[in-house]
Chain A
Amino acid sequence: MNRDLVTIKGGNDGFRILVDSSATMEEIEAEIKKKLETNPGFFPKGTKFELEVADLDRSVKKGIDELLQEHGFGINKSTKKDKRAFPADNAASSKNVQPEANPVQEMMVLNRTIRGGEEISSQSSILICGNVNPGAQVIAGGSIDIRGTCRGMVHAGAWGDANAVIIADRLMPTQIRIANMIARSPDTMEKSDFAERAFIRDGQIVIEPIER
């Protein structure tokens, strides 16, 4: 499979767009469009992206800016790279960008109840010490671990990582998504008394009890 020409990464301080310098403007445009449109609503309106621009053409930069603005986003003009936030990328940005080889290793940690109507998302894995309530959404690029009861919607591996897992002390969500697979809860759900893990096996989401 082809390496991605365009990668969008997220951290606590916002999103960054990494572009392979060998890509043409048409390819870049198509890729960014696809990324923005396959996850509508994922990026909050008005999001400012940082552009990894080291060896990019001015005209390409301008093209990307215009494309983002069409979608209601923008480029953070005062691009200042915070290396501490993305330690795994130091090597990558100096050479040709190879994000796949350097996955972001951070984890978002939340010590509270995620209530209905709230949407939590991170490109990294997410650890929640508290319940995820009905009507709440948790979306992670990596795995999701809930030390509490999960009654909301959870999506792990949201950008395609089929190895991501979802773990909860009591797993009773309305819906589980891993990568591009969706599992709906049964219409009547009994309370589970043990922690469970959801993951993909043989092209299907399976749930099994675990000890912890």
Chain B
Amino acid sequence: MSEVIVITSGKGGVGKSTTTANLGVGLAMRGKKVVLIDTDTGLRNLDLLLGLENRIMYDLVDVIEGRVEIKKALVRHKKYENLQLLPTSQVKDKSAVNPADLMALCDELRKEYDYVLIDCPAGIEQGFQTAIAGADTAIVVTMPEVSAVRDADKIIGELGRSEKDNIKLIINRIRPAMVDSGEMMDMDDINDILAIKCIGQVPDDIKVVTSANRGEPVVGDSDSQAGRAYANIVGRIMGEDIPFMKFEKQGFFDKLKKAFGM
């Protein structure tokens, strides 16, 4: 059984593309056949996060407009053979793709892949409606701050009106120390407001940025807390029951200092 999952958020910059890249690599590491579709004609794109920029020949619009077969437009990941990317166009208009096109494309890809992940643009305009059209499941990414949670709430309402009822939540960029001091919303409050199933809590971690710059999503790095959090989400998507991890509030060195009585 294959699953089409759209990753969306409402507010921009909360980590949709980061999440898509990490879940894609994570699922591929677990042996799944995965294709990622980038529907956001933005600046920071999936191909960069995956280190595939220089291999792009064709894009989503070429496929939709029938200039090239899907197979030819897909870019294979360097390291994970069963991970493919369908890049977005950097030049063409977003309105070149409509919901029916994307739905048909997803149904085509379903036949060959275990997971189709769609990276959605921010906002609730046409690009959003197109991105969600073919999805079975929506993952809403938010951050522990008031405006991001409000936008997530609106997006969830919008998904409901589009009859997308299978909605999951990922809370990204958590800073445990700030949550503890009351400067960041705590997880219980967010879950109470959004009232959808939470499948991931990802800490703010500098390794997310440094690994993205190398084109190697952090999910492969078990030394990173965020990497482990993404790996857990991958497991939950595959139906495993994994408890949420406790974040280390102090840095490693603070702990060492304590241990040595410094």
Contact = CB atoms under 8 A, between A and B. Distances in A.
Contact of B195 (A117, A131, A134): A131
A112 to B, nearest CB: 8
Interface residues of A, number: 12
B173 interface: no
A130 B157 CA distance: 14
B8 to A, nearest CB: 15
Contacts of A113: 195
Interface string B178-197: 00000000000000110100
Contacts of A115: 153-154, 156-157, 160
A149 to B, nearest CB: 6
A113 B160 CA distance: 11
Interface string A110-151: 000101111000000000001101110000000000000101
A118 B157 CA distance: 8
A117 B154 CA distance: 7
Nearest to B189: A191
Contacts of B150: 116, 134-135
A116 B192 contact: no
A116 B154 contact: yes
B153 A135 contact: yes
A132 to B, nearest CB: 10
A88 B195 CA distance: 38
A173 to B, nearest CB: 13
A116 B195 contact: no
Interface string B146-178: 100010011011001000000000000000000
Contacts of B192: 131, 149
Nearest to A135: B150
A116 to B, nearest CB: 4
Contacts of A131: 192-193, 195
A113 B157 CA distance: 9
A117 B193 contact: no
A115 B154 CA distance: 6
A133 B195 CA distance: 10
A116 B157 CA distance: 8
Nearest to A149: B192
Contacts of B146: 134
Contacts of B153: 115-116, 133-135
Contacts of A134: 146, 150, 153, 193
A130 B195 contact: yes
Nearest to B196: A113
A149 B146 CA distance: 17
Contacts of A133: 153, 193
A135 B193 contact: no
Interface in A18-50: none
Interface string B128-154: 000000000000000000100010011
A113 to B, nearest CB: 5
B94 to A, nearest CB: 23
A155 to B, nearest CB: 20
Interface in A137-179: 149, 151
Nearest to A134: B150
A151 B157 contact: no
Contacts of A118: 157
A151 B192 CA distance: 11
Nearest to B150: A116
A118 B195 CA distance: 16
Interface in B63-116: none
22 contacts: A115-B153, A115-B157, A115-B160, A116-B150, A116-B154, A117-B154, A117-B157, A118-B157, A130-B195, A131-B192, A131-B193, A131-B195, A133-B153, A133-B193, A134-B146, A134-B150, A134-B153, A135-B150, A135-B154, A149-B192, A149-B193, A151-B193
Given A115-B157, A116-B157, A134-B146, 14 more contacts: A115-B153, A115-B154, A116-B150, A116-B153, A118-B157, A131-B192, A133-B153, A134-B153, A134-B193, A135-B150, A135-B153, A135-B154, A149-B192, A149-B193
Which 3 residue pairs spanning A and B have beta carbons closest together? A115-B157, A116-B153, A115-B153
